[in-house]
Amino acid sequence: MSTRSQVVAVGGALLIAASSISGVLGSSHREAPLISGDPAADNTDLYAFVSPDAPDTLTIIANYIPLQQPGGGPNFHPFDDNVRYRIHIDNTGDARDDVTYTVTFKTNQASGKGGVSSFLYNNLPIATVDDASWLVPQEYKVERTTGGTTSTIGSGLRTVPANVGPRSTPDYPALAATGIHPLDNGGQAYAGPRDDAFFVDLGSIFDLGGLRPFNALHLLPLGTEDGVDGVAGYNTASIVLQVPLTEVRQSAGQPVVGVWASADRRAYREMTTDGRAKWSGPWVQVSRLGNPLINEVIIPRHLKDYWNSQAPSRDKQFLQYYEAPELAVLENFLYGAPGGPTGHAGGALDEIDQTGRTDLSLILLKGVGGVNEIRSNPVLADMLRVNTAILPGVNGACPGGIADDSQPNRLAVLQADLCGFPNGRRLVDDVTDIELRAVAQGYGTFLNGAFGLPNKSPNNIVGDGVDTNADMPFLGSFPYIGLPHSGYESVPIRSVHMPL
C-alpha cells in the first residue's frame, strides 16, 4: 500500500473511531478598497475548530472591525445595528447554506434619557454586562436557519463592553465572563471586543511580499531583522458561537463541514437632517471570509470588492488566481535565481512554479481527500473545511502522532498535526507561514510523502518570523480568544518583535 493510501486509510479508520467516541495577514484586514471604508462590516478573521474542552461541539470565531486602537473612546468600536453578521455551514459540498447563524445587534443609548447626560461611555465602574453604568449597552439576537425555517436560539443577549481602563472596568476578566450566554440549542455565545489573535509581519508582507527574516540567510542586502507582529496591541470585535456537532454536520459518517462568515448591509443609506443614517432596500453582502489570506493576497486588487460580494458557490470564476498566484512570481523575483535582486549572496529559493498550481486549488477550494474533503467532486469554493471527527484532546484522535492537542503544532498539517489548518483553523495556527510555504512549494516531508506534494528546499523554511500571538494569551475555555487590550494602558504603536 502506498504512503498516500496508508494515510487515507488511517484517516478513515480514525473517522470511524472518533465517531463512535462522540456517538484556524490580518488575514482579511482592510483587504478591499470599498470595505476598508466600512470597518463595522469588515470580516477580519475566521476560526473554526472542534472545541478542545467540549469535543462534541464546534467553535466558530468570526472577527470584525479591524485594527482597533484600544483607547478609541468615547465610542470605542461597537457592532453595527445596521449590519447582519452571518456564519454559514455547508455539509453537503455544494457550497450553499445548510445551516446559517445570523447575529444582529441593537444599541441602547442611555445619555439623554431619564436625567442622564454624559459625554462618556460609562459614568461609573462597570462590573457586569447588565450594569446601568454602561451608557451605550448593546444586546443581540442569534437566529438559526435550516431547511427554510428560521428559529431564534438566543435573544436579549448582552455584548461585552470595551476594556476602558482600571477605573471604568477594574476587573475586566470577571466582567467579560458575564458576557458568556447559553443558547437554546445547548450551545453558547459571546460577542464583544477581544485581542486580535492574528499574527503577521504586515509591514514586510506588503513591501512586495517580502520576508524580513530571510535577511538572516543573506538573501537581501538589508542586514538582519526580527519579524514584527503588525497586529499586536490591537483589538477586534469577536462573535463566538459554540454549537453541537449534531446540529451542523450531515451525519457522524459524513463529518466534514464547510464554514464561512459574511456581513450584509441594506442597499441604500440616507443621511437625515438630525445627523442619523437611515438604511433601506434589500440586504447586500459586502464582506465574506473563509480561508485566511485569500482576498488579501490571492485575489487581484480590481476584483477584491467584487469577490466580497460573491457567494462561495461561484468561486470557480477565480480559479486562475489560485493556480497562477502573483505571490509565487514575487517570491521568485525576491529570492529565486536567476531574476533576484542584485546583491543577494546565495541560499536562494528553489524556483517556484508560477502556473499550473492545482495543489493550491486542491487545498483551498476543494479539500484534501481523507482529511477534509466533503465529497469527491465538490463545488470549488472558499470555505474553512473542518473534519469534526478528528478530535483534539488526550482522548481524541489527531493523526500523525499528535494525540494531545494541548500541545498543537503551529504549522498544523505541514507537521502532521491534522487538527489544524487547513483542516479548520485554530487560534494557534500560523496560517501565514503555512500559506507562504504552500505557495513556495515547500510543503515539508509529511505532505510530500503522504500526498505527493512538492517539498522544495529551502522553500520549506520560509516564514515571516512571527510565530505566535505574543501579546495576549489564549484561553483554555470558551471563548478561547484572548482578552482585549485596555484603552488606558494602550500606546499608539505596540509592535512585538519576535526573535529569529
Q: Per-residue pLDDT tens for 138-184?
A: 999 999 999 999 999 999 999 999 999 999 999 999 999 999 999 99
Give CA–CA dist 289/197, Å, rounded.
16
Reported for 314-318, long-range contacts at CB under 8 A and 24+ positions apart, including other chains, are 315/95, 315/365, 315/380, 315/381, 315/382, 316/379, 316/380
Contact 33, 208 (CB under 8 A): no
Low pLDDT (below 70) residues in the chain: 1-33, 213-225, 337-347, 393-406, 491-500
CB 145 within 8 A of CB 97: yes
Instruction: Specify the pLDDT at position 31.
Output: 56
State residue 284's pLDDT score.
94
403: exposed, middle or buried (C-beta count within 10 Å: 0-12, 13-18, 19+)? middle
Cell numbers 459574511 correspond to 262
Enclosing H/E stretch for 51: none
pLDDT at 275: 82
**Rounded (5°) CA angle 468-409-253:** 125
Give the pLDDT confidence score for residue 208 in this predicted structure.
75
pLDDT for 217: 52
Is the pTM for the entire model greater than 0.85?
A: yes
Report the pLDDT value the prediction gives residue 13, as an integer from 0 to 100: 32
Q: Which residue blocks in 125-221 are alpha helix, DSSP H?
A: 172-177, 202-205
Contact (CB, 8 A) for 434 and 415: no
Please report the beta strands in 335-483, taking only residues with DSSP state E, as ranges in sequence order: 384-387
Can you tell me which residue has the cell 475548530? 49
E strand or H helix at 67, and its extent?
strand 57-68
Q: What is the pLDDT of residue 274?
A: 84
Cell output for 413: 498539517
Q: Which of 172, 170, 221, 220 minimizes the C-alpha distance to 194?
A: 172
Q: Given strand 57-68, what is the order of strands in its sheet?
A: 43-50, 57-68, 235-244, 188-195, 181-182
Contacting residues for 141 by C-beta, under 8 A, at least 6 apart: 103, 104, 152, 154, 155, 156, 157
